[in-house]
Structure 1
Amino acid sequence: MAFELLIPNMEQKITSFFLIFLACTILIWYLQMLWKKRKIYQASLSLPGPLALPIIGSALYFIGARKSYDFFQKLKHLFNSYPGIFRIWLGPQMYYAVSEPKYVDIILTSPAALRKDNLYRFLEPVSGHGLVSALLVSQWKKNRKLINPAFNQQILNSFMVVFVEQAEVFVDILKKYVGKGECDIMKLVSRCTLDIICETAIGVKIQSQSTNSSIAESVERSMEIVLIRILTIYYHSDLVFDHSPIGKEFYDVSKKLRAYTETIIEQKKKQREKEKLENKELFFEEGASLRKKVFLDLLIDINDNCQTKYVQFTDEELLDETMTILIAGSDTTSTTTCYVLMMLAIHQDIQERVFGEILEVVGDEESVQLYHLPNLNYLERIIKETLRLFPIVPFLLRRTEGNIDIGDYTIQKDCPIIINTLHLHRTEKYWPNSLKFDPDRFLPERAAKIVPGSFIPFSYGPRNCIGMKFSIMEMKTILTTVIKRYRLLTSYKSVEEIELDSTLLLRPRDGYKLSFELRN
């Protein structure tokens, strides 16, 4: 009987010991974490910011933010409440939130802030470790150095014929929308830019504008899911996300996109080997016309000409960079193009002025050509002013690899930084009457006075967007072709009416509302 009574007591003691041991382990872990982050906690005391509680940080502030719009509005409110710089705790991680140009200038040009934040890893199933999502600075530097030659001006000029052809296809498709009232043209424009990037990047005509190709929809859906994962804290866990329905959908879409691109790369390599055997130049023929090398040709050339394997692309890296070019080169350009068309529809006087410039530079009948582009100065200022009001990427995320002295504060090592591009571009101090659409802000004499760090539509510093020139040339071509043919109209009356939302890119909450009339 005594022995039987002893067993429950032993079980209770073991249970008690285990609970005490577990509590002590957690306490020791927590104290170690506090000690490790003592400098960060000390730095946070000198910064303003929302209430932060142990473990959960400022999570209470975001209660009720179930959709991207809610989260975006709360972040906007924080940046308005704490101008310049503040701190925000997301769980046990402190983020520096920055919207002061002088700080942005120092941060984005600092070697200690070249690393992307860990949240970019959510892009990896689609784009791998390409230029946009590569977390390791050493890998990014190697690949950027290899890819830079593929974006020189002479090569970009050779793509002009593709820009013109696809822009003409796009304006022909718009005919069916004339007199039919407003429509959201995002899908139409994104299919146009996807056709352009596929033909110039990998040398394949996917004809998404004229067929039911699902590639454009797959790209869009993959980016939507990435945003959902970023905004849903429990999806940050690979275990939870990988076994969720949306996670399985994401991996299916990613696998489809990468398999499609991988097939194209293999076809390209086989084609090149065949041409080598036949002792031909690396051009591909399409009907009676000859096309110059596309980005994929150039990347393989660069790889083949490298003297050491250390600086060459692996097959996986080649796939990653091709995927990155396809995604970044399609969605970003289509987004800005849609905003420009909306700005012209709202501001009829500016639309007529740029139409006059197009007639003067391009002529009444002739299609836009390469030599016209440098003379479309007013159109370029319109694009820049649109990028100011509607920066493609509203938030940039970096993670420091060393302390950064920004004058008033020292940003601590191993801390993420959120840079609010939208807030920078609309700050009254640097952009008087900031919501007024005024392309003449970018006249040469006024542009020279723009404060460094206050205008960063293609990011800034060493890790800026490699495709900036490509994008501007492409947009000028599409916009010129559209404006020559159609008058643009919208029910939006002003910039203030356009409520903004953010997936990974800045979007109008109610869509890109446009209607079209044929010009006489």
Structure 2
Amino acid sequence: MAVVLLLLKTVGVLGFISLLIFYLKKIRLYRAAAKFPGPPALPFIGNAHVFVGSTEDILNKIMELLDTYPSPLRFWLGSRLFFGVCEAEQLKIVFTSPKTIEKEDLYKFARPWLGTGLFTAPASKWRVHRKLILPTFNPRILESFVEVFAQQSEIMVRQMKVEIDGDEFDVFNYISLCTLDIICETAMGVTMKAQTEGDPTYVESAKRTFEIFYTRMFKVWLHPDIIFNNTRLGKDQRECIDYLHGLTNDVIKKKKLELTFDSPIIEDTKPRKAFLDLLMELSNEGKKFTDEELREEVDTMMIAGNDTTASVNSFVMLMLANFPEVQEKCYQELCTIYGANINTDTVITHEDLHRMEYLERTIKETLRLFPVGPVLVRYVSEDLDIGGHVLPRGSSVVIGILKMHRSEKYWKEPLKFDPDRFLPEEVAKRHAYCFVPFSAGPRNCIGVRYAMMAMKTLLATVLRHYILKKDRTVRIEDIKLKADVMLKPVEPISVKIERRKH
């Protein structure tokens, strides 16, 4: 009995010492956090308990915190300190400082899928790979993709014919298969035929994986691999990732065989080169990318080019259906460009895209209200002064893009849909960092121009053929949102279509 008591005392003392050491390591952060406003935190779990629930609940709670406390505010996830920031000048510092170039450690939960591609890479690897990859997004290469954007968009329009004069239908189902066909051809150089053969496996697997990743980020009890891997979420993630990796690996193997047996002359006659072709050329020249790194970068490009553009296109189509006057202005702009050929199969060219100024403003206004990444997170590697507030080394910054995009401080009547906010003279009046739908600074989205070109092509194709309608107007404030890393509607986006009169 005495031995048992001694053992219990020893365990208690060791536990106390461990807690003391843990506290002393964090004391600098505790002292810094005390200077900032924020919700009361519980021992050990911090504020993690408030993020219990669905991805809709999590996003709503983040927005509630940003609404309740001034920027910057502080909260804890377990023992990790976070600062919520939603002021444009503060964001400018965070986005441009070398002290916040690292992604937050929570993004490691995406690495089983994306490895250390550009989205999740540590700064040291990101700098090297971004410099290597950037030339593959030059204007000449992007222009060569417009033909693919147009061809696949025309296929989507034909697939949608069954919905003409029918009830409202889920547009994302059509758009996501279209953008998947586009990204497979432009990123990997393969024809997926997802639209015509109707296989949604990739889209569903990617959607589920993002959902799991975002859920895990905010639930600290799922952070340890030993716990997560033994949950249903862990099993679902493994099954989805096995499929996603299998697809990319198969394509890389086939591409390598083509490079082995094709002569240089045949290679040079290809009308366009995909993202993967260009990366493999870099690898052949200087052994820059391993097979694993190729897969990581292509997987990153695949999801960035498919899921993001599909979501934004869906929101834009909802806005066009919701605001007929905006849709009519977009259509009249297309009439100016195409004249008598407006309702024909005249192929959209990259020169046409430059003239779609009002459509681009409509896309930007949609991105303001429904930004791709509603919340971003950066790690603070050194003490950072963001203007009267010093964020301590070892903390992280939660960047509230959705909150800032809908703030009355920067936007008059913020919930009003008005594409003319993005007229050059209006843009000049605002802070440069109050509109950042694709992040900003050196670690911004590398594919912004690709995305805008692809979206304009798809939307212009739809508008040339169909009138988009809603049974009843939906108020923007009534559109429920969730975040599976990227912003999504809680309810599917549905519209009706009528054929344009020739």
What range is the shorter-chain TM-score in?
A: over 0.9
Task: Give the equivalent residue in structure 1 for 2:293.
Answer: 317
The 5-angstrom pairing of residues 112-511 of structure 1 reads 112-134=99-121, 136-213=122-199, 214-275=201-262, 278-282=263-267, 291-306=271-286, 312-363=288-339, 364=342, 365=344, 366-490=346-470, 491-511=472-492
Once the two structures are overlaid, the 10-residue window that deviates more, 199-208 or 219-228, is 219-228
SS of the equivalent of 1:52 reads coil
Deviation sequence 1:258-317 (CA, Å, 0-9, x none)? 121111011111101212xx3424257xxxxx53111111111122233xx5xx212211
SS of the equivalent of 1:502 reads strand
Task: Give the Cα separation in 2 of the matches to 1:421 and 1:485.
Answer: 34
Once the two structures are overlaid, the 10-residue window that deviates more, 391-400 or 83-92, is 83-92
Task: Give the Cα separation in 2 of the matches to 1:51 and 1:279.
Answer: 65
The 5-angstrom pairing of residues 75-94 of structure 1 reads 75-94=62-81
Deviation sequence 1:220-250 (CA, Å, 0-9, x none)? 2222222232343322121111122331221
Once the two structures are overlaid, the 10-residue window that deviates more, 220-229 or 401-410, is 220-229
Does the CA-based 8 Å contact 1:425-1:454 persist in structure 2? yes
Task: Give the equivalent residue in structure 2 for 1:59.
Answer: 48
Task: Give the Cα separation in 1 of the matches to 2:112 and 2:172.
Answer: 25
SS of the equivalent of 1:493 reads coil
Task: Give the Cα separation in 1 of the matches to 2:307 and 2:376.
Answer: 17
Task: Give the Cα separation in 2 of the matches to 1:169 and 1:83.
Answer: 49
Task: Give the Cα separation in 2 of the matches to 1:185 and 1:434.
Answer: 26
Once the two structures are overlaid, the 10-residue window that deviates more, 390-399 or 27-36, is 27-36
Does the CA-based 8 Å contact 1:208-1:216 persist in structure 2? no
Q: Give the partner amino acid of 1:328.
A: A
Deviation sequence 1:52-105 (CA, Å, 0-9, x none)? 12212123434xx32122222222111100132100011111111111111110
Does the CA-based 8 Å contact 2:282-2:289 persist in structure 1? no
SS of the equivalent of 1:53 reads coil
Whether 1:16 aligns to 2:5 is yes
Does the CA-based 8 Å contact 1:282-1:293 persist in structure 2? no
Deviation sequence 1:345-377 (CA, Å, 0-9, x none)? 111111001100011113323232111011111
Give the share of equivalent positions with the same residue, in percent.
38
Task: Give the Cα separation in 2 of the matches to 1:231 and 1:95.
Answer: 12
Does the CA-based 8 Å contact 2:374-2:483 persist in structure 1? yes
Task: Give the Cα separation in 2 of the matches to 1:344 and 1:469.
Answer: 22
Task: Give the Cα separation in 1 of the matches to 2:280 and 2:248.
Answer: 15
Q: How many residues are matched?
A: 495
Does the CA-based 8 Å contact 1:83-1:100 persist in structure 2? no
Does the CA-based 8 Å contact 2:373-2:487 persist in structure 1? yes
Q: Give the partner amino acid of 1:387.
A: L
Does the CA-based 8 Å contact 2:147-2:348 persist in structure 1? no
Distance change in 2, residues 1:354/1:212 (3 Å): closer
Task: Give the Cα separation in 2 of the matches to 1:386 and 1:476.
Answer: 13
SS of the equivalent of 1:282 reads helix
Contiguous gaps of at least 5 residues in structure 1: 1-11, 285-289
Q: Give the partner amino acid of 2:220.
A: I
Does the CA-based 8 Å contact 1:401-1:414 persist in structure 2? yes
SS of the equivalent of 2:371 reads coil
Whether 1:46 aligns to 2:39 is no
Distance change in 2, residues 1:448/1:305 (3 Å): farther
Does the CA-based 8 Å contact 2:320-2:326 persist in structure 1? yes
Distance change in 2, residues 1:18/1:437 (3 Å): same
How large is the Cα RMSD of the aligned pairs? 1.5
Task: Give the Cα separation in 2 of the matches to 1:302 and 1:186.
Answer: 35
Cα shift at 1:492? 3.6
Does the CA-based 8 Å contact 2:146-2:348 persist in structure 1? no
Task: Give the Cα separation in 2 of the matches to 1:21 and 1:180.
Answer: 74
Deviation sequence 1:137-194 (CA, Å, 0-9, x none)? 1011111111111111111011111001000001111111112211121121111101
Task: Give the Cα separation in 2 of the matches to 1:217 and 1:54.
Answer: 38
Contiguous gaps of at least 5 residues in structure 2: none
Distance change in 2, residues 1:191/1:376 (3 Å): same
Task: Give the equivalent residue in structure 1 for 2:497.
Answer: 516
Does the CA-based 8 Å contact 2:78-2:220 persist in structure 1? no
